[in-house]
Each structure stands twice: as C-alpha cells, then as structure tokens.
Amino acid sequence: MRALSLGRWLRAWRVPPLPERWHSTLPPQQKVSVEVLDHLEHLALVDFRDSEGVERLQKAIQFADQLHEVNTDGVEPMDSVLEDRCLYLREDDVTEGNCTKELLENAREKVEEYFVAPPGNIPLPKLEERDSFLQGS
Amino acid sequence: MLLTLLWRATFPSMQVTVSQRIHNLLCHLLSPWVPVVGLEIHAQISSNSKLFSGSQVQFAAPPNSLVSFFDASLPGTLPVLNRRCVEAAVMTGLALKCSINKKSLFDRKHYFYADLPAGYQITQQRVPIAVNGSLSYSLCMDSKMSQMVTKIVRIKQIQLEQDSGKSLHDDTRSQTLVDLNRAGVGLMEVVMEPDMCCGEEAAAAVRELQLILQTLGSSQAVMAEGQLRVDANVSVHRPGEPYGVRTEVKNINSLRFLAKAVDYEIRRQIEELENGGTILNETRAFDSRLGCTVPMRDKEGKQDYRFMPEPNLPPLILYDAKSLPANMNHQQVINIDWIHERLPDLPSVKREKLVEQYGILPEHSFTLLNEDGLAEFFESVVKQTQMKPKKVIGWILNDLLSYLKQYSLTVKESPVSSFLLADLLNLLEKKEISSTAAKQVLAELWKGEGKTPLEIVKEQKLELLQDQKELEQICQAVIDERENEVMAIKAGNRKVLNKLIGLVQRKTQGRSNPVLVKQLLEKKLSE
C-alpha cells in the first residue's frame, strides 16, 4: 500500500517564514542526506519525488526545530489536552457493523465482499535506482 | 511411591532444584551453548464487541460484515473503550500475579499494512495495564509422565491492543484480499521474560497460560482459530557470556509447532555459529510443512514504529477498595479488588484439590485438567459410584480417554455419559461382572445405541457366574481334562495353576471371578 497523502500535503504546504529574531539561536540548518530521505520515505511510504519536495521537507524540519527553543526542563510532557479527563467506558454490547455495502462503496477495487489491495507493501526503488537529482544532496 | 509423594509434598522446591541442577549440568556437559527463549503471546479477548467499537466479535463470519466505520478507519471516527476488555485484562493480570497499574496509557504504533487501515495500531507501549508477574508451569522429565518438574517464567507485562484485519494473498492474480472483521478485536499481549531454554518448556508455559485464560474466560484461547498466537524470541550464547543476537519466530499456530519451531531455531543458530557464521536480528516464519524456520522477506530491516501517545484516549484509571470514588457512576468504575475476590480457582489450585480430595497422583491431575471437561466428568462419575476414586481414575484415563483420542472427540461429545460409566463401574464394584466384561460393555456403550450397561450385560450374558455349583462343575471338568497340568501342579509347579484359571475363564467366556476360580481349583487339587 502506498500512501501519497503526506507527500502531497508536504508539497502543497507553505512553510511559514521564521521570525527574524530566532534565526540566530537556531541550530545550523542541516542538509537532508539521501540516507535520511530514504529512511523517511520507507517509514511513511511517501515518495518526495523531486528536489522541490525535498526542499519543502527541509523547511518543515527547520520550522519544527523552533520547538527546541522552548525551555522544557522539569516540565512533564503533556500527551493531550484531554489527559485529565475520565476515559469513558462502554458496555460490551454489539451496536455497529453489518454495513458491508456502505463500507465497500468507497473501495476502488473489490472482489466479492473483500477490499482488494496490492500484494504486500510495494518496496520503494533501491537507492541507486532513484532519480539522479538526489545524488548531489 | 507413597514415600516419593510425601517427599514431593513436603519439599516441592527441593525436588525442583535437584533435578534442575542435574538438568543444567547435563546441558552444560552436552553442549557449550545456552539457548534462551522468550515469548510474546497475543490472546484474543473473549467479548461480544471489539476493543474500541461496537461491532461484533465472531470467528468465520462473512467478510467485512463485522466492521464499523471506526474499524475501517473512516475520517471523523473515535475510539470508545470496551469495559469488558479492560476487566478481562485485569483478571488475567491478577491470575498471573502481576501488579495492576492504576493508571495506564494508550499509544499508537505505526506501520503500513493493508489489513491495518489506520496505518497504526492502538496499543500500550509506555505504561501497560499490568506488569511484573509470574507463571509457574510443569513439564515431565520423561515420556511416562511420572516425574514432573515445576518451573517459573516471569511475566514482563500485559498490554491491551487492537487486532489487525486478515489478508488473503492471491499470488496468481497478484493481489491481496482484505477482510476487516478481525480489525479492532481486543487483544491482550502477554510478554514473557526469556526464562525458558527449549521448545518443550515454551510449549508447557503456553499450555498453562492457555488453561488459565480458559478458566478465567478472558480468552477462549483456541490456537487453531487464532485466538492465541505465539511469537518466540530465540538466541544462543556461551555459558557466562552475554545473550546472543536473537531472532523472532512468527506464524506458530499450535503447541506442537511451537516446540518444533523453537528447537529448530536453536539448532540452526548453534550450527550457524559453529560454522563461523553470524545470527541476524531478523523475523523468521515457521514452515510447518518443512518443519523449519525461514526468513520473512516482508519484515526485512529494522522497523521504526514511530510510537506516539494516542491523543483520543485519556489515561485509563483503575480503582481499588481504598481509592474508590464515592460519587462516580459505578458503570464507569473498575474495581481491582472486586475482580480479585471473584477470580475462579486456577488450574494449579484445581489440581491440588483433586489430588487432596481423591488421593489421585499429581500427574493424573494434570491429565484431567489438560482435557476440557474431563475433571468435571471424573468428579461426576465419582459422585455416582461406590468405586474408589483411585480406581475410577484408571477407567477415565486409560479407557475413556483412549476412546476419545481414537475417535478425536471432546469430553462433551463422548457417547458414554458420566452417568452410564458410573452405572457400569457400579456393576463391576458389586462384582456382578468381571473387569474384562466391563471393558466389553464399555466398547458396546461407545456405540451410543442408548442401551444401559445392565441391558448390555443381560443381552451378551456377561454377568459373573454367581452359581457356585455350576462354577465348581466347570472347574472339575477342566481338572479332569488336563491330567498333565494337574500332575505338574501336584509336583510343585504352581505357575501351571494360572493356565487352568485361564481355561476356566475361557469356558465361562470371561464371566467367572478369577479369585474365586483360583480358590476352587486350589481346593479341588488339594483334595
């Protein structure tokens, strides 16, 4: 299964410019190496495809790096704003299901009542088979 | 025998250490390698509905019929925790002597697979529901089951998590068919520390866990239906050195295969290392047809699961008698102490009670519990017969069980009910039939034609000859026919008497009491 949504999202995403005053204190901007890129693409099954995508990724990382500026010493990390709420417990009753038809309506391909997917995960092309534009980065 | 039993009862731990020491010594002498085996066991929770959704849990339903929008990971759906699943995990944790975390957390574990539509599994990675337990299990040192050793494996943790869907691979058309019926079913992952050292130990530990889960009812734990799935982590190292690189063996779907897969993997690793090779940290699958493990192409390389806290589920809080809030809806409260008080007798306790109450051997109590419903069958027979439990157990384990095995039936499917067996044993106990005849009747009862033991005895004329005169006549006839044998006995060869007893038995078609026949013959020969 290849998920392209993140790649599309990254390509479409405009990274907001960094505030002037932070430029000085940020860690020096790191180039995204081919190996890191390869690892990320495998993890997320995303194809960054072209140099523009890679540049956008680099900017996204830089944007997220701003978080390092905040001093969090001795602060317990927060999971979510709901973490002090009660976790609702449901009784063990069957209330859903039996909607095969509706579920399969969205499926691009189906066989009888099954969803059809490509066989296993499609491996990304080997590093050396990748477009040459990445070789220099 | 009695002495051994007494000794076992008084010094159970001593026996373990002595035989364990011998075992360890043998291992050390025989092989310069120490195998280490740890297990991860996924047990499907027995519940009506799934862990986070209200769709039904059922094996072998039509594809994609038990799927809610949440299970299919449609946008905008949220998880709602099933109370029953939490209680099942708490029960299991308590039965495995774990400490139950009053606050546990849910996390997302990411990986891409067609049968995991969300792209992540909700699990408990940081703080699981139960930690630091132990499981004691027994295994036989020899094939006759007469020497059992008790061992302990530590339980690292039990975590609640979602099951994935099922993929059917159609290689010819190069496609995967996905059925999400299983997606989102509640699982308990039981993580065992690497305290085992061979396939047999691993299988015995899983068998005991399976019995515990079935006793609790927290999982049906039928391996053939995938309700209990075992992954084995195996490594070998030289004595005194740190643990070796481990491999994970998956796709094990029976206890027999678990033992085989682990032992194969241990042998393979030792061979590899002795030939100067190295062990890769890889996932391997057990091929039951070939009886060996093979690397799984699918799972090559190190996975990065990108764990993160599940933002849609606040922490799971459990209470005990002390921390119980006063003004909270009781349906929203899970009380650990309340569950603890209601735990049923675990298999180990049941075995002890059987041994104590009926005076049977410990190994017999294991066999009774190993077969679903057999202990109850035994107790029911004992209640309905005058025969001593020690004698009843022989009929249950030697005769009934071998019939069941021969026809691969469960105890519940037995055509001979506990009532019928008790009836038969009563005839035997009242000396109305011989034990040979009783076996004949049992064979007849097995046909399940609805006859009572007494009817069969009457029909086939199997009742013991109660008429002393008739029996005396038959004995006399045998003596008259067999001059040579009589001479031999009179000359002092007492063994020949057995031959005469056999002849009388044959003439009466097994309907004579051998003890009585012996007395009669002896009396007549001394005249």
Residue A30 burial (CB count, 10 A): 11
Q: Where are the beta strands (DSSP E) in B241-282?
A: 247-252
Does the beta-carbon distance from A103 to B174 stay under 8 Å? no
B328, with CB counted inside 10 A (0-12, 13-18, 19+), is exposed
Chain B nearest-CA distance from A16, in A, is 25
Chain centre distance of CA A47: 11
> Distance between CA A68 and CA B15 in Å, rounded?
60
Does the beta-carbon distance from B48 to A93 stay under 8 Å? yes
Res B66: pLDDT: 97
Instruction: Return the domain boundaries, chain B.
Output: 1-30, 31-309, 347-459, 468-526
Residue B214 burial (CB count, 10 A): 18
Q: Does the beta carbon of A105 lie under 8 angstroms from any beta carbon of chain B? A: no
Does the beta-carbon distance from A100 to B63 stay under 8 Å? yes
Q: Does the beta carbon of A17 lie under 8 angstroms from any beta carbon of chain B? A: no
> What are the pLDDT digits (tens) for B197-207?
999 999 999 99
Res B36: pLDDT: 96
A120, with CB counted inside 10 A (0-12, 13-18, 19+), is middle
DSSP state of A96: B
> What are the pLDDT digits (tens) for A42-84?
777 677 767 777 888 888 888 999 988 889 899 988 888 888 8
Q: B186 or B453, which is more confident?
A: B186
Contact assessment for residue B516 and residue B508, using Cβ atoms and an 8 Å cutoff: no
Contact assessment for residue B93 and residue B190, using Cβ atoms and an 8 Å cutoff: no
Considering only residues 66 to 95 of chain B, which have any Cβ-Cβ distance to chain A shorter than 8 Å? 66-70, 72, 80-86
Residue B50 burial (CB count, 10 A): 31
Closest CA to B260 of B202, B342, B345, B205: B202
- pLDDT band, very low/low/confident/very high, at B514 (cuts 50, 70, 90): confident
- Dihedrals phi, psi of B507, to nearest 5 degrees: -65, -35
Does the beta-carbon distance from B86 to A89 stay under 8 Å? yes
Which residue, among B81, B124, B178, would best test binding to A if mutated, counting the most A CBs under 10 Å from its CB? B178
User: DSSP per residue over B120-149, as a string?
Assistant: EEEE-SSS-SEEEEEEEEEEESSTTS-SEE
Long-range contacts of A123-129 (CB under 8 A, 24+ apart): A124/A38, A124/A41, A124/A42, A124/A45, A124/A47, A127/A34, A127/A38
Please report which helix (H) or strand (E) contains residue B348, including its range: helix B347-358
Residues B487, B493, B496: CA angle, nearest 5 degrees: 80
Q: Could you tell me if the ipTM is greater than 0.90?
A: no
> How many Cα atoms occupy the beta-carbon half-sphere of B20 within 13 Å?
15
In chain A, residues with a C-beta closer than 8 Å to the C-beta of B53 are 96
* CATH number, domain B468-526: 1.10.10.410
pTM: 0.80
